[in-house]
Copies of this chain bind each other. A is one copy, B any other.
Amino acid sequence: MMRTRPLKVALLGCGVVGSEVARIMTTHADDLAARIGAPVELAGVAVRRPSKVREGIDPALITTDATALVRRGDIDVAIEVIGGIEPARSLITTAFENGASVVSANKALLAEDGAALHAAAEKYGRDLYYEAAVAGAIPLVRPLRESLAGDKVNRVLGIVNGTTNFILDKMDTSGAGYSEALDEATALGYAEADPTADVEGFDAAAKAAILAGIAFHTRVKIGDVHREGITEVTAADIASARRMGCTVKLLAICERAADGASVTARVHPAMIPLSHPLASVREAYNAVFVEAEAAGQLMFYGPGAGGSPTASAVLGDLVAVCRNKLGESTGPGESAYTRLPVSPMGEVVTRYHISLDVADKPGVLAQVATVFAEQGVSIDTVRQQGKDGEASLVVVTHRAPDAALSGTVEALRKLDTVRGVASIMRVEGE
């Protein structure tokens, strides 16, 4: 069964993930060959800094001209682990044009321009695989695209950013504030020097766009994803969550509307019950909870980032793409036949946990309750706490459109008796 002519692989990028991919391709060459049915050979490695010492990689393979590498014409598979939009996008397209299939770990690009890349792959009859783009090593793209291909996914709820999960978990277990927890994450290498992409939810939003597209067989771009980060989550929010039997997580949430005619995708911190399987996802782990019509509730858990886990996902795709090459076939391409519109955040139906600082005098609750009623928002529970002329009012609403809930908060801010809105957080996973 084994053919002897090796499949040629171009590695585009050789940072943390790329160097690990190259290492495993060398150390596990026999296993990869047995699983593919042919040996795979690293034919070239495109880098920005050719002078850097790269252990285990033949210096003769190193090039700074990535375009020339993918244009050689003898490349079977290009592995793109450069990240960002350009030059990654042009290189992938050039690879397709020149006979190569592509394995990519590039969430930003897939979330920005996935449809065009899929179209190019289809035009040239190539594969585009990207398991590593969402939640690192956790098999997620393939299970959603293939295992659940006979089912109807209604909801995806994911912890898809390890940095923010580490910070929130630290705040939850130690009572630390946001800054303190961020400092610890930075010191331990879980947060980058500039943590913006993680803590402001951009990274999670890209993954939400990819997940929503795959789950609902439609197209969702990162610009369609409502995004809120965790920088305003306070120790008081976490303590409030605890009192409700909840914990706070940054969630990527993709939902099909009840009528099936639209979808939504959003990223924001939310309280989830401690009994929810996602609540026990600690430290920098990721997990994605999927609700499907026939399958019910599934969860996929694992390390969401890091060189080795991401390389594992890349190599799993490499094996699949190589097998397809040998069989002269391609795997499933983009499935976006539903073309469902993406509704804005205001139309998402959700629940709010609102903590108000109010004057400690009679009639305040009545005033507050009236505002909720005027906005058409039904209250689930209210807890009042008074101390020294000050009082706090914690309201948890029933489900309502997000626009009505945020409108309620705006109206509450205008009440004389409301001294401040101490915290607002959505409640999910119930």
Residues of chain A whose beta carbon lies under 8 Å from any beta carbon of chain B: 20, 24, 28, 31-32, 34-35, 131, 137-139, 142-143, 146-152, 217, 277, 280, 292-303, 306, 308-309, 311-320, 323-324, 327-330, 332, 335, 337-338
Q: Which B residue sits closest to A297, measured CB to CB?
A: B302
Please state if A312 and B337 are interface contacts (CB–CB under 8 Å).
Answer: no
Decide if A146 touches B313 in the complex (CB within 8 Å). no
Residues of chain B contacted by A330 (CB below 8 angstroms): 327
With a 10 A CB-CB cut-off, give which of A32, A139, A313 has the most chain B CB atoms.
A139
Q: Pick the contact of A139 from B147, B217, B306 — CB < 8 Å?
A: B147
CA distance A329 to B324 in the complex (A): 9
Please determine whether A329 and B332 come into contact, CB atoms closer than 8 angstroms: no
Interface contact A294-B277, CB-CB below 8 Å? no
For A320, the closest partner residue in chain B by CB is B146
Interchain Cβ contacts under 8 Å between A and B, 9 examples: A24-B151, A139-B142, A139-B147, A143-B143, A147-B313, A148-B312, A148-B316, A294-B315, A329-B329
State in angstroms the CA–CA spacing of A335 and B36 once bound together: 10
- On chain B, the residues within 8 Å of A294 by CB distance are 20, 24, 137, 308-309, 311-312, 315
How far apart are the CA atoms of A143 and B266 in the complex, in Å? 27
Question: With A319-B146, A332-B323 given, is the CB distance from A297 to B303 under 8 Å?
Answer: yes
CB pair A151 B316 closer than 8 Å = yes
Distance of A231 from chain B, by nearest CB (Å): 28
Q: Which of chain B's residues have a CB closer than 8 A to the CB of A302?
A: 295-299
Is there contact, CB below 8 Å, between A337 and B138? no
A151 to B295, CA, bound (A): 27
| A152–chain B nearest beta-carbon distance, Å | 7
Q: Which residues of B contact A217 (CB under 8 A)?
A: 31, 34-35
* A375 to B149 alpha-carbon distance, docked (Å): 54
Chain B residues near A317 (CB, 8 Å)? 150
Docked CA distance A110–B323 (Å): 24
Q: Given A217-B34, A294-B315, A315-B294, is A139 in contact with B148 using a C-beta cutoff of 8 Å?
A: yes
- Residues A298 and B301 in contact, CB atoms below 8 Å apart: yes
Closest B-chain residue to A32, C-beta based? B150
Contact of A327 among B296, B315, B329 (CB under 8 A): B329
Q: Flag if B137 contacts A296 (CB, 8 Å).
A: yes
| CA–CA, A277 and B300, complex, Å | 11
Cα of A324 to Cα of B131 in the assembled complex, Å: 20
In the assembly, what is the distance between CA of A293 and CA of B300, in Å?
18
Chain B residues with CB under 8 Å of A298's CB are 137-139, 300-302
